[in-house]
Structure 1
Amino acid sequence: MAPGIVEHEPIVNGSDSSPRESEAESRPKLYANVDQDQLQKKTSQFLFNYGTKFIPDIVCGAKGLYVYTAKGHKVLDWTSGQMSCLLGHGHPEIVKTITDHAANLDHLFSGMVSPPVVSLGERLCSLLPDGLDKAFFLSTGGESNEAAIKLAKVYTGKFEIVAVNGSWHGVTAQALSAQYHYGRKGQGPLMPGMHMLPAPNAYRSIFRKPDGSYDWETELDYGWSLIDQASCGSLAAVIVECIQSSAGIHVLPTGYLKALKKHCERRGMLLIVDEAQTGVGRCGDTMAIIHEGVTPDILTLSKTLGNGLPLSAVVTSTEIEKVCVERDYCFYTTHVNDPLPAAVGNKVLEIVVRDNLVEHSRSMGKILHEGLRRLQSRYGCIGDVRGRGLMAGVEIVTDRETKAPGIELASSIAERAYELGVWANLSSHGSFGGVFRIAPPITVTEEQIQEGLGVLEQAFASSPGSIPLY
């Protein structure tokens, strides 16, 4: 413990006697007897490094809000897998849906229609504002954004696409070209006609009003002035996230999305909103666009919709569909509108609405953010806490005045938190600095939030350089 920790009551008491010991019998048994050392050697021998550093442990089980390693370590999963297991791992109704459809209705010819696909389309569109009336279903978020960008190009007859610095939209050709973050190098020219707006980073932006507050309007207008000068006159669409997750959990300022849509309308462009991580209740609203009061021309969903299964959606208007059909729009894939993942997505939406999980996400989010701000009041290395609902970012710095990024410090805190039993994904790439991305399943209980906060308290207290303020 860091000096002085005894003077402060911890955020949660008794974390050493948390459920992680008493629930040993509930651990998944599927890979209960594997040899971690042997699997680690085989990982180095046979698995390709696709752009990430694998964590040392071999994960052999996932149940509820916890993951289990081969060596018996139980870890609270505060990132819902890859920000996807909205209802937690192994949700019994999801398991039954998968089992039933694997046995009876799994995969079909891409021109066939099945009941779960129709049901998902109806349920999804009924939850969205008017103007988002027609949906089709793919596998990954990158694939849905690829399809959406192509849709915008075919509809407008134009080809230039605008995205936001720090964005992450996928690794397929057009999605990657609209992604100003990571993964762009080493492959030669990307798609032509791609433009970038400044990232709406309220914590670090140089655009400030005289009182020091963030001047996002001037920043946005300035960005568009540069794009107008660079454009060849063929601006087709803007693609944007309501909360930039990979960039470090940056929430669009209030009014930003409405202003962005007006910029699009003035230029005859479409607005595409990517809700891979913010959709389906994650941020305390059914969709983040509802919180913003903006209806985009095209909405993409993924991650949360499939609760960890590969399922994504593209939703647009009847008018856009009509024009694109006339112009021979095609995005025909092997797994388009597959029944099994569609059945899972339909069940996810049913559960979220039936169990009032949007409201639950909102109320649990308040508890989470209050706890994180309390940590910020105790540790000077926490420069900023941001987010909405059950989506939070905690930015680590070495100096609050200069806001110098504390990437190495953040890594040591993250490692300590994992040792103590919490996985909170650390954004460590230089483009976004040391930011914890926290997004537990929206079925999380207050007890589990307090458990995680207590572990984080211990991790900060026992990590040199965390700058205790007491």
Structure 2
Amino acid sequence: MTDSAYRDDRAHVFHSWSAQRALTPTVLAGGEGSWFWDGEGRRYLDFSSQLVNLNLGHQHPRVVAAIQEQAAKLCTVAPTFANDARSEAARLIAEVAPGDLSHVFFTNGGTEAVEHALRMARLTTGRHKILSAYRSYHGATAGAITLTGDPRRWGSEPSIPGVVRFFGPYPYRSAFHATTVREECDRALEHLEQVFTLEGPHTVAAVILETVVGTNGILVPPDGYLAGVRDLCDRYGALLICDEVMSGFGRCGEWFAADRWGVVPDLITFAKGVNSGYVPLGGVVLGPRVYEAFAERPYPGGLTYSGHPLACAAAVATIGAMRDEGVLERVRDLGSTLIGPRLAEIAARHPSVGDVRGLGFFWAIELVRDRDTREMLVPYNAAGADAAPMAELVAACKERGLWPFTHFNRVHVVPPCVTSEADLDTGLDILDEVLTLADRHYTGKEA
């Protein structure tokens, strides 16, 4: 089975974000909780949550049962109809959404959610510009990839017009020469206001940002930053779109990360953790300003599989399981009492660790060659020989039974939100061990 699956994959599957002939994909055979295994029975502790979406872990029985039950009743339905799975999923999502966000437009994933949020913002305001941050990822379709502020955008350019980029806060590598977190917050907001001014506030439909930046570094915004962006949007009549595809549904210890700072966006995009990706699902949660814009005129957009019953049944079960099992509470607790302190200890032992940051089950270890200069362990967007130190580290993790998530010069600690304390310790022990490989490339002065 393993041999034929690998052979057929290499003969017929075209993989995303990859040079096709360079691939040697692992054939997965199964998974349970925070572990999965390949066709030869080799087990891996999943510290990547697949693609930071498996918040309830592999094969959660309650979610699997809900999909099976829905499949036996009604597998699919056109979006023009109402059905109980979709209606209940929308009610539950609206129930946990911040403030007055009360309606849900369902998509098949995060990229489509961003596409529709962009369209809704432009049609609601009658404006065309969208302000989007560098060091962001919003998806791979035409609009979403244009909004993206990392190298994955480059191959798709030129793309849609009207996107203007800005720098968000990143205290460790400040674009504003800030020396404190407070300065970083204030200067980032001053910069964003300048972008509004120079672009013409009357042309700006929305600001879109990842509430907590995901793949590009687990950049947790300083206290006051999101509220400041909200104020700017209100002052200039623009909408605030929070992309919570990665940070939502428990990952940060909240239903939505915006809740941590008490900020209510106009639109929230979600996917991934809403049902751990068991069946593809995403969506946009709408506030009243956007909803009312289409109360009397048709919204010009839709999807054949919008609110697919199997996906929505999985979402209903996921929200129920998270509530009953206290997932948000344990993520907040273990993030602050176990993961954060263990990563601080690891940073103290390894000179190659330049910075550790995060919250909940959403952390990054940033690796450097020199703590004083903050030279990255591998260059920005490194490939081939330039990326060899990180490739070596990844291989060492996998040899020890840990499946990591890495991007550029960072290792992200993003396990399923149900990972046990013992498994968290196991994974962190392995990272502690393999970081000695990164230390070999360190050229700066040791503390």
Considering the TM-score relative to the shorter chain, is it more than 0.5? yes
Equivalent residue for 2:326? 356
Matched letter for residue 27 of structure 2: I
Equivalent residue for 1:45? 11
Q: CA deviation at 1:163?
A: 0.9
Give the 3-state SS of the residue equivalent to 2:152 in structure 1.
coil
Q: CA deviation at 1:462?
A: 5.5
Equivalent residue for 2:382? none
Equivalent residue for 2:315? 345
Q: Take 2:318 and 2:203, find their aligned partners in 1: how far apart are those partners? A: 39
Equivalent residue for 2:398? 418
Matched letter for residue 401 of structure 1: D
Contact kept? 1:136, 1:313, Cα under 8 Å: yes
Structure 1's consecutive aligned runs of 4 or more residues displaced over 4 angstroms after TM superposition are 38-42, 53-56, 209-214, 466-470
Instruction: Report how many residues are paired.
Output: 431
Equivalent residue for 2:434? 459
Q: Take 1:91 and 1:368, find their aligned partners in 2: how far apart are those partners? A: 23
Out of 403-412 and 245-254, give the one that drifted further.
403-412
Matches of residues 251-262 of structure 1 in structure 2 within 5 Å?
Answer: 251-262=220-231
1:293-315 CA-to-partner distances (Å, cap 9, x unmatched) read 10001111100002112111211
Task: Report the RMSD for the aligned CA atoms in angstroms.
Answer: 2.1
Contact kept? 2:167, 2:175, Cα under 8 Å: no
Give the 3-state SS of the residue equivalent to 2:215 in structure 1.
coil
1:400-435 CA-to-partner distances (Å, cap 9, x unmatched) read 11111112433322221111011121102xxxxx11
Equivalent residue for 1:60? 29
Matched letter for residue 459 of structure 1: V
Unaligned runs of 5+ in 1: 1-32, 429-433
Equivalent residue for 2:414? 439
Matched letter for residue 455 of structure 1: I
Q: Take 2:90 and 2:80, find their aligned partners in 1: how far apart are those partners? A: 16
Matches of residues 170-249 of structure 1 in structure 2 within 5 Å?
Answer: 170-209=139-178, 214-231=183-200, 233-249=202-218
Out of 191-200 and 322-331, give the one that drifted further.
322-331
Q: Take 2:150 and 2:294, find their aligned partners in 1: how far apart are those partners? A: 30
1:111-139 CA-to-partner distances (Å, cap 9, x unmatched) read 01101111111111111233101112111
Contact kept? 1:378, 1:469, Cα under 8 Å: no
Normalising by structure 2, we get a TM-score of 0.91
Matched letter for residue 372 of structure 1: L
Matched letter for residue 361 of structure 1: V
Q: Take 1:402 and 1:182, find their aligned partners in 2: how far apart are those partners? A: 23
Q: Take 2:180 and 2:293, find their aligned partners in 1: how far apart are those partners? A: 48
Q: CA, structure 1 residues 337+44, in 2 after alignment: closer, same or farther (shift >3 Å)?
A: closer
Q: CA deviation at 1:42?
A: 4.3
Equivalent residue for 1:380? 351
1:117-174 CA-to-partner distances (Å, cap 9, x unmatched) read 1111111111123310111211110111111111111111111101111111111222
Q: CA deviation at 1:227?
A: 4.3
Contact kept? 1:97, 1:347, Cα under 8 Å: yes
Q: Take 2:398 and 2:345, find their aligned partners in 1: how far apart are those partners? A: 20
Equivalent residue for 1:25? none
Q: CA deviation at 1:463?
A: 5.8
Equivalent residue for 1:7? none
Aligned: 1:396 with 2:367? yes
Equivalent residue for 1:317? 287
Unaligned runs of 5+ in 2: 379-387
Matched letter for residue 457 of structure 1: D
Give the 3-state SS of the residue equivalent to 1:90 in structure 2.
coil
Q: CA, structure 1 residues 187+127, in 2 after alignment: closer, same or farther (shift >3 Å)?
A: closer
Normalising by structure 1, we get a TM-score of 0.87
Q: CA, structure 1 residues 82+358, in 2 after alignment: closer, same or farther (shift >3 Å)?
A: same
Q: Take 1:249 and 1:350, find their aligned partners in 2: how far apart are those partners? A: 27
Q: CA, structure 1 residues 442+174, in 2 after alignment: closer, same or farther (shift >3 Å)?
A: same
Matches of residues 321-332 of structure 1 in structure 2 within 5 Å?
Answer: 321-332=291-302
